[in-house]
Chain A
Amino acid sequence: MPAKKKNEPTMTATETATSGNGKSNPDLDRELLRSMLLQRRFEERCAEAYALGKIGGFCHLYIGQEGVSTGTLSILRPDDYVITTYRDHGQALARGISPRAVMAELFGRADGVVRGKGGSMHLFDRNVNFLGGHGIVGAHVPLGTGVGFAIKYRGGDQVCICYMGESVVNTGAFHEALNMAGLWKLPVVYVIENNRYGMGTALERASAIHDIYERGASYNMPRAQCDGQDVFAVRAATQEAVDRARRDQIPTLLEVRTYRFMGHSMSDAVSGTYRTKAELDEYMKRDPIVLLRVHMQENGELTDEELQRIDAEIKATVQDAWDFADKSPEPPLEALYEDVYVDTTSDSTAQPVAAD
């Protein structure tokens, strides 16, 4: 069946309230810009490193979706939790994981954020409560629900953001996990990054309903939809959902409409069998970084010189990450057998390893 419906974001109440102009906050805006630009420049170099064979395996770039990671994570507190899919570079950087450690991981080196064991799809960093990139579509959604359960169990006021692509809403794990979150009122914000395609399958060819935030109704869950290319709209929608989770322990299903500018992974063409170049070009006009930049320039918050300076700094940071990764040694061979089991013969049994 042919794809009919365009992914035009519908304006929601939250969005019109804060998106675009109004009160401008130059410091915040600059921070958001830096965050998105770091992800973009970092991943441009990832593509290069992949072509050179420095990065192996599957590598799914996030380019085009930076408004989602930056918008949502700029709302979270450091003690909140994040869990996500294999398309995890952008969120990892936006959460504050060191670009050096991420690049070293992608290069499969000992100084990588998981010491070379995981690669692109499995970035984890306990220091910032980043519970991983996960490779099986939908399988991490129950884990996100479990994190919400643990927060409530311990009486905390943290929130868990659980990211996923739009195709996840069709999986059984999604349905089961959201039903429990709705039933038990858990503090989880399920962020669906609706970039229109699950690999080569358009949303309309995979899902019986197309405004997928509506699925929240099945789980008695508040739901919203926002424009992922507008970082302010993402912030506003996230703020509402996070407040609700923190204050009232109520989950939210947030559909963020976005687009990926690259192929599904490095082995997939940017456009071709399943989407046209014209469609891609159309969406690229709504680059989240460009939209923020224009907004800042129009508000007199950013000069060309400053933009160039920021970009140069970020490029230097990424170059530094590359150099660091390049110099980092391969993991020692003994590491092969490390971390299969926790050593329960030591004192670790006295204190649960997983206590936060």
Chain B
Amino acid sequence: MAVITYRDALNQALREEMQRDDRVFLMGEEVGVYQGAYKVSKGLLQEFGEMRIVDTPITELGFAGVGVGAAMVGLRPVVEFMTWNFAVLALDQVLNSAAKMLYMSGGQYNVPIVFRGPNGAALQLSAQHSQAFESWLAHIPGLKVVTPGTPYDAKGLLKSSIRDDNPVCFLEGEMLYNIKGEVPDEEYLIPIGVADLKREGDHCSIITNGKMALVAMQAADQLAKDGIRIDVVDLRTVRPMDYEAIRASVQKTNRAVVLEEGWELAGIGAQVVDFVQRECFDYLDAPVLRVHQADVPMPYAKNLERAAKPDAAKTIAAVKKVMYAEEGARG
């Protein structure tokens, strides 16, 4: 199996789907001549030409809507947002047009579109450029929300998203583009809505998604040194959410920590905790804890940013707490 970057995995997925289906095209800022702000579309303009790799002006609302219209009449657009922070300008088209079209047209018009781009904080980009949007988007019926955490997942899920007949918001981790992982040479698809057990353990579950899957694995490695065995459930898709995977893990470990990149209030973790307390209450040996971004806009200063972001150390602390493994916590 080849070991490639997350960026190249996405690039392969785009290329393969564009070769396979000539209704698929990519549109967004700097996707063509510049070869992609994060180089995800590198080489595609050369291979597919400017009708299929479409550079747009800085007009998020406009080109997202152009994509929706094209999808309504038979194309399969992939719309790249340079980052999801800028997609906020386009949310009207994503929420009010794409998500609701099938329903409000009584099933006559579906919108097979993928909105994709980097999501979440990178390094010291400050408040307007450091936001994780999965809980926002997951709130909207009619959308699917996909958050791959590894190159393997990124490729298989992007291909499935492009083939899906519904609007899919595909959130790539802004810090993940350079991470490497094994990706099969032969074609594969990963179904949307199926979680992945990234690591098996029986002491505590960490339920997570997206970029935080990596953080969960780091935390689990550390915890293993203290003899604590973690079950890491990577949801991969937050809408639909794989509740059965959550149930299976919590029934096995009886303890859970939910780790997410975004803010706490109305976050993904709130949904997971709701499910766990309703469906797994009898299996719980401790309250479910959440690890998330501090409830503030992201600051610029390095030390403040570090304090604001969820990380492995905070996750480890939460796990130890639900394990009652902290000093004095047992009493």
Contacts and interface: CB of A to CB of B under 8 A. Distances in A.
Given A119-B124, A340-B295, A58 B301 contact: no
Nearest to B92: A172
Interface in A294-353: 330-331, 333, 335-337, 340
B33 to A, nearest CB: 6
Task: Determine which residue in B29, B34, B300, B302 has the highest number of CB atoms from chain A within 10 A of its CB, and name it.
Answer: B300
A56 B126 CA distance: 10
B30 interface: yes
B125 A57 contact: yes
A117 interface: yes
Interface in A47-75: 56-58
Contacts of A336: 294, 296, 299, 304, 307-308
Interface in A31-47: none
A9 interface: no
A207 B125 contact: no
Interface string B56-84: 11110110000000000000000000000
A201 B55 contact: yes
Interface stretch (A136-144, A213-221, A223-231, A285-293): A136-144
B300 A108 contact: yes
Interface size grouping (class) on chain A: 35 or more
A118 B126 contact: yes
A196 interface: no
Interface in A195-216: 198-201, 205-207
B60 to A, nearest CB: 8
Interface string B90-132: 0000000000000000000000000000000001111111000
Contacts of A116: 299-301, 304
Contacts of A274: 33-34
Contacts of A119: 124-126, 300-301
Contacts, number: 127
Contacts of B50: 1
B300 A57 contact: yes
A185 to B, nearest CB: 27
Nearest to B304: A336
Contacts of B127: 117-118, 122, 135
A167 B303 contact: no
B58 A138 contact: yes
Interface string A106-120: 001100100011110
Contacts of A1: 50
Contact of A56 (B55, B124, B296): B124
Interface string A74-105: 00000000000000000000000000000001
B294 A337 contact: yes
Given A200-B33, A330-B302, A135 B129 contact: yes
B58 A340 contact: no
Interface string A266-289: 000000011000000000000000
Contacts of A331: 299, 301, 303-304
Contact of B30 (A109, A117, A199): A199
Interface in B36-53: 37, 50
B147 interface: no
A227 to B, nearest CB: 25
B309 to A, nearest CB: 11
B86 interface: yes
A273 B35 contact: yes
A189 interface: no
A245 to B, nearest CB: 27
Interface string B296-325: 110111111001100000000000000000
A204 to B, nearest CB: 11
B89 interface: yes
B161 interface: no
A302 to B, nearest CB: 39
Task: Determine which residue in B37, B57, B59, B302 has the highest number of CB atoms from chain A within 10 A of its CB, and name it.
Answer: B57
B208 interface: no
A168 interface: yes
A316 to B, nearest CB: 27
A24 interface: no
Contact of A207 (B57, B303, B308): B57
A273 B128 contact: no
Contacts of A200: 30, 33-34
A162 interface: no
A12 interface: no
Given A172-B61, A172-B62, A199-B29, A135 B128 contact: yes
Contacts of B128: 121-122, 134-136
B254 interface: no
A118 B55 contact: no
B58 A337 contact: no
A260 to B, nearest CB: 16
A340 B297 contact: yes
Task: Determine which residue in B57, B86, B124, B301 has the highest number of CB atoms from chain A within 10 A of its CB, and name it.
Answer: B301
B253 interface: no
Contact of B299 (A117, A168, A173, A273): A117
B237 interface: no
Nearest to A340: B296
A118 B304 CA distance: 11
B57 A206 contact: yes
A120 to B, nearest CB: 8
24 contacts: A56-B124, A108-B300, A108-B301, A119-B301, A122-B300, A134-B128, A136-B89, A137-B58, A170-B57, A172-B59, A200-B30, A201-B29, A201-B34, A201-B55, A206-B58, A273-B35, A330-B301, A330-B303, A336-B296, A336-B299, A337-B295, A337-B296, A340-B295, A340-B296
Given A116-B299, A116-B300, A206-B57, 6 more contacts: A122-B300, A167-B58, A199-B30, A199-B37, A336-B307, A340-B296
Interface of B: 29-30, 33-35, 37, 50, 55-59, 61-62, 85-86, 88-89, 123-129, 294-297, 299-304, 307-308
- 4 cross-chain pairs, A with B, having the tightest CB-CB distances, nearest first: A119-B300, A56-B124, A116-B301, A200-B34
